[in-house]
Amino acid sequence: MTEPDDHAKPWETERRGLLLLMSSPSGAGKTSLSRRLVADYSGVRLSISATTRAPRPGEMEGREYYFVDDKEFDRRVEAGEMLEWARVHDHKYGTPRGPVEAALKAGDDVLFDIDWQGAAQVRNAMPEDSVSVFILPPSWPDLSRRLHARAQDSEEIIQRRLDRGREEVEHWTEYDYVIVNKNFDRAYADLTHIYRAERMKPERNSWLPDFVADLRQQSVTS
């Protein structure tokens, strides 16, 4: 979803992108909301992580993940080339800094579907560019029903996700915005309002000083 302005001057398109960090307990709707935003707004791209695990059937380099070995991953961490990273079971996952900074400079926005630990690392690394949103379920029974309705996991895994979710919810106060996903359409509307408002902040629109200077020099004509 884009809204071009045919009367905009070239310098009115100059802006710095933002990092939209979205977190939630599993099943609260974070991924569905993220995918909808990326589909509707051409200026939003999903962050692509690097991982030390092997590609799965159908996965492509640079689409699902950047695939690297342990030695290269550790080198990037030591060189400060990762915005955030964590070990998950036997493998490492993290966000390369280079593609994110290039996107911001180009005026593109990067959306992170990320847990609270990773979000905290990104905020610490790039606080002025980060906007964080936490998605809450309307109730715990509702979250349990959503996880069971997926029919993707065993009961043991579902209970593990619910237990972890209770820990994750404790971190809601660390976020800039909180959305209760009781109704998907309403939650998505709230998310788009947040996103569009953050895009309009003066510090992200480098064209504004020139625009205002030009505006002040204009004469009043009938």
pLDDT for the residue numbered 43: 93
Distances from the Cα of 14 to the Cα of 86, 98, 108, angstroms: 34, 20, 11
pLDDT digits (tens, 9 = 90+) for 32-47: 999 999 999 999 999 9
> What does the pLDDT read at residue 141?
87
Residue 73 lies in a domain: yes
The answer to whether position 212 is within a domain reads no
Per-residue pLDDT at 142: 86
Query: What is the arithmetic mean of pLDDT over 118-129?
Result: 95
| Structural domain includes residue 42 | yes
In contact, 207 and 13? CB cutoff 8 Å? yes
CB 118 within 8 A of CB 112: yes
- Tokens (6 digits) for 41: 């707004």
The candidate with the shortest Cα–Cα distance to 119, out of 78, 83, 166, is: 83
At 7 the pLDDT is 53
Residue 58 within a domain: yes
User: What does the pLDDT read at residue 4?
Assistant: 46
The CATH code of the domain that includes 136 is 3.40.50.300
% helix / strand / coil in the chain, to the nearest 5? 45, 20, 35
Number of domains in the chain: 1
Q: Which domain holds residue 134?
A: 15-200
What is the number of other CB atoms lying within 10 angstroms of the CB of residue 171?
A: 15
Residue 208 located in a structural domain? no
Q: With respect to residue 3, please indicate whether it lies within any of the assigned structural domains.
A: no
Residue 60 domain-assigned (yes or no): yes
The answer as to whether 205 is a domain residue is: no
